[in-house]
Structure 1
Amino acid sequence: MKLVKESDRRRCVCHIITGLGTGGAERSLFNLLKGPLGTAFRHNVISLTTFGTYGKQLRDIGYEVTALDIKHAPWRFGRLRGLVRRQQPDIVQGWMYHGNLAASFACPSSVRLVWNVRHGLEDFAGEKRTTQLAIQANRMISARPDRVLFNAEIARRQHIKLGFTEENTQVIPNGFDTELFRFDPYQRAQLRQQLGISATAPVIGHLGRFHPVKDHDTFLKASLRVLADRSDVHLVLAGYGVSYETPFFNERILGALRPRVHLLEDRRDVSAVLSAMDIFAQSSRVEGFPNVLGEAMSTERACVATDVGDSAFVLADAGLIVPPEDSAALEAGMRKFLSDPELRIKSGTQARKRVKTDFPLDGTAQAYINLYRSFF
């Protein structure tokens, strides 16, 4: 099927997103716009907060990006409606709860409105009060959008159970750039050398911002027990706030183990970080469709992941699924892969094959293109 039609090129989509940092939703938007979706329609992006990592990258590849920075200048929110009208979009696409609300506020009545919900509700009570209020506000006006998108079927069902309108919902799973996310032995060797990790040392990795839903506590309980009796094993963690300057890590990772626990903070070179690992561990309490799990699979890493959101569906039989908040089960998964290098290789090979077959980025882009075309 031809992805691009001349009639599509004249259509404009205005994306309104909470921020453009290094989260999964932000990365998904960037990946879509640098691929077939970006060439099929015209696009503008508005961040309610800052440009972040992906705002700068979107500008670099030619997109108009506006950052309102409403945290520091809340009065700028009042500019949003006029800004959207000047862009004369055919579709306004919200991203995440706050972005969805802003898109609903700013979208002219004659323009198609789409929401994109990127979150699971396994732990609604554990969400910040402001997030809970945003979710409930989305629920109250969920009949307003022409379509409400979810990247995971389980998240769609959870939101409907909470009271979201069902009739306008659709699931479009995340897709992955398997050329970008592929095992790279050069990047592996380079990063390991920078960190002082030998070429033969087994590395267990974790990627995710420091936030309760990512459950670094369970990850460290499991992995530090492994390090205590496996002197050859290293840990590599990356994500916003993942630093020894954060008291949580400073208090839990003591001096004797610290040389083998590498905290990399926020990284843009996610593929290189994944290539440096042997085992990727997802310890989340809450997920929708976990981007980083798909990226680790695409990079041929052996994956052990908690059974939250669509993780079990994504990983299928290409890795190990364990219960959330169960450090013993997570530890057992790590040890199983550590003790069997052949299993690690086999699992990584199966994981990449599954991503290439079932979650290619072009397939996700085509689903968005088909949705946008259906409105006209």
Structure 2
Amino acid sequence: MHSSLSQESLLVMPKKSKNTNIMIIVHFITSTGVGGAQIMLKRYLAALGPEAKNHSVVSLTGIGSIGRDIQNMGVHVEPLGLKPGRVSLSAIAKMRKMLRQQPVSVVHAWMYHGCLASIIGLAGRFGKKPGLVWGVHHSLQDIKKEKFSSQMIIRIMAALSGSVGRITYCSDVSRNQHEAIGFNAKKSALIPNAVDTSEFKPDPAARDRLIEVLGIPGDRLMVGNVSRSHPMKDHVSMMRATAKMLDEGHNVQAVLIGEGHTGSAAAVEAQSLGIADRVSILEMRHDIAKLVPGLDVFLLSSAWGEAFPLAVTEAMSAEVPCVVTDVGDCAKLVGDTGTVVPPSDANAQASAVGALLSAGEEERARLGRAARLRVQDNFSMNQYVQLHRDAYHSVQSGRPQAAHNIRSMSA
């Protein structure tokens, strides 16, 4: 890794307030491009309102689209400009200088690399250190499926986890998986991802809007997935499930929204199956909330890696019934408002989605209403903000967080 930025470019933090109850928070995150953790950081800061002025962000890499959105909120984002595979002693020195010279109350680290960087940044600091919170946003179904460098970072984090004030997980499955490889169980807290239900909501006009964007006949039943192209998302299985549904007579259109789908393995598979005309690809969009409510069914086809997928929560909030694979906390997320199928099983996906399509519009609408209510009851931004406040106060004061404060989802 290397940094092309001057060491003199220090993080612009808010001046220390005379009000000792105000905490100054600095967030370390691997990048500020588009991703689940990055989107949650952006939503979290937006939900804080005026309180966000007490927060700043350090991106280990550059400033991506999410980072620019955060800057537009008036929150400072400091890019370190690190490059994969290269270590920079100057960047390490810069991190340490930032945290030594600024009145930081709590360091909140997001994602594996951000968590490791937070430990390095605080190492060797004399006197009282800021409280440290790690945020884990990845499930670990099989560590061997991770890149070798990621495997090493995860194992180092496990060895160092006892020195962290609090480790938050966005899914219960993720917490259990990380504790199984050595993450300190006494530090754990569950803070499920959240969604702004005023942004993702039912919209009667969304179906016509989506059909127009896709340029397809109005009688098609649209089955969508919103995520970047990546092997763990297993969009190839989604294509195979689509082919099976078409063979069974369902008038279905698969919709892939996200980065990297053009020319992807899924697109190649659709072509091979002869269903390319029944697969619509939309690359990166900024109007997801206006399109998702137009779907008839949301299908999460992931084979591994999911912890608590935001896209499913957003679809539920928009009253779209969901079929999800049994990875991470997906089963707990949808509860009895959706259908859970085994990962990497295209036939099971086709059967579950086909059943929802055959059930009719009224039954899908009923499930959609139940899904939105579940999100409102369990995954609101107000709850997300308060749970983080609790974690910050806990690590700053040095008081252990009681086990009963670890949050569970309702059945």
Q: Out of 136, 153, 173, which is 1:154 matched to?
A: 173
Distance 2:20 2:192 in 1: 22
Paired position in structure 2 for 1:132: 151
Paired position in structure 1 for 2:241: 222
Distance 2:291 2:20 in 1: 37
Deviation digits for residues 113-166 of structure 1, max 9, x if unmatched?
A: 110111111122211112211111111111111111111112111111111111
Q: Out of 309, 319, 337, which is 1:290 matched to?
A: 309
Deviation digits for residues 154-203 of structure 1, max 9, x if unmatched?
A: 21111111111111111111121100111223344223212112333210
CA deviation after TM superposition for structure 1 residue 54, in Å: 0.9
Q: Out of 72, 77, 85, which is 2:91 matched to?
A: 77
When residues 167 and 82 of structure 1 are mapped into structure 2, their CA distance, relative to the original with a 3 A threshold, is: same
Deviation digits for residues 202-252 of structure 1, max 9, x if unmatched?
A: 1000112222221112222112322345473211111221223x3x13421
Once the two structures are superposed, the pairs formed by residues 91-240 of structure 1 within 5 Å of their partners are 91-107=106-122, 108=125, 110-230=129-249, 232-240=251-259
Distance 1:71 1:279 in 2: 39
When residues 228 and 74 of structure 1 are mapped into structure 2, their CA distance, relative to the original with a 3 A threshold, is: farther
TM-score for the superposition, normalised by structure 1: 0.92
Q: Out of 367, 371, 376, which is 1:351 matched to?
A: 371
Distance 1:136 1:59 in 2: 33
Distance 2:29 2:197 in 1: 25
Q: Does residue 362 of structure 1 match 2:382?
A: yes
Question: Could you tell me whether the CA contact under 8 Å between 2:31 and 2:64 is conserved in 1?
Answer: yes
CA deviation after TM superposition for structure 1 residue 330, in Å: 0.8
Paired position in structure 2 for 1:277: 295
CA deviation after TM superposition for structure 1 residue 20, in Å: 1.3
Once the two structures are superposed, the pairs formed by residues 245-324 of structure 1 within 5 Å of their partners are 246=264, 248-254=265-271, 256-286=274-304, 287-324=306-343
When residues 120 and 305 of structure 1 are mapped into structure 2, their CA distance, relative to the original with a 3 A threshold, is: same
Deviates more, 1:312-321 or 1:259-268: 259-268
CA deviation after TM superposition for structure 1 residue 272, in Å: 2.2
CA deviation after TM superposition for structure 1 residue 7, in Å: 4.5
When residues 250 and 331 of structure 1 are mapped into structure 2, their CA distance, relative to the original with a 3 A threshold, is: closer
Residue 185 of structure 1 aligns to a residue in which SS? coil
When residues 82 and 187 of structure 1 are mapped into structure 2, their CA distance, relative to the original with a 3 A threshold, is: farther
Gaps of 5+ in 2: 1-16, 398-411
Paired position in structure 1 for 2:12: none
Two-structure CA RMSD over aligned residues (Å): 2.2
Question: Could you tell me whether the CA contact under 8 Å between 1:152 and 1:173 is conserved in 2?
Answer: yes
Identity in percent: 33
Paired position in structure 2 for 1:50: 62
Residue type of the alignment partner of 1:348 = G
Distance 1:365 1:38 in 2: 13
Residue 34 of structure 1 aligns to a residue in which SS? helix
Residue 336 of structure 1 aligns to a residue in which SS? helix
Q: Out of 21, 32, 35, which is 2:44 matched to?
A: 32
When residues 368 and 8 of structure 1 are mapped into structure 2, their CA distance, relative to the original with a 3 A threshold, is: farther
Larger Rg: 2
TM-score for the superposition, normalised by structure 2: 0.85
Question: Could you tell me whether the CA contact under 8 Å between 2:133 and 2:391 is conserved in 1?
Answer: no
Question: Could you tell me whether the CA contact under 8 Å between 1:9 and 1:42 is conserved in 2?
Answer: no
CA deviation after TM superposition for structure 1 residue 42, in Å: 0.7
Gaps of 5+ in 1: none
Q: Out of 88, 91, 106, which is 2:103 matched to?
A: 88
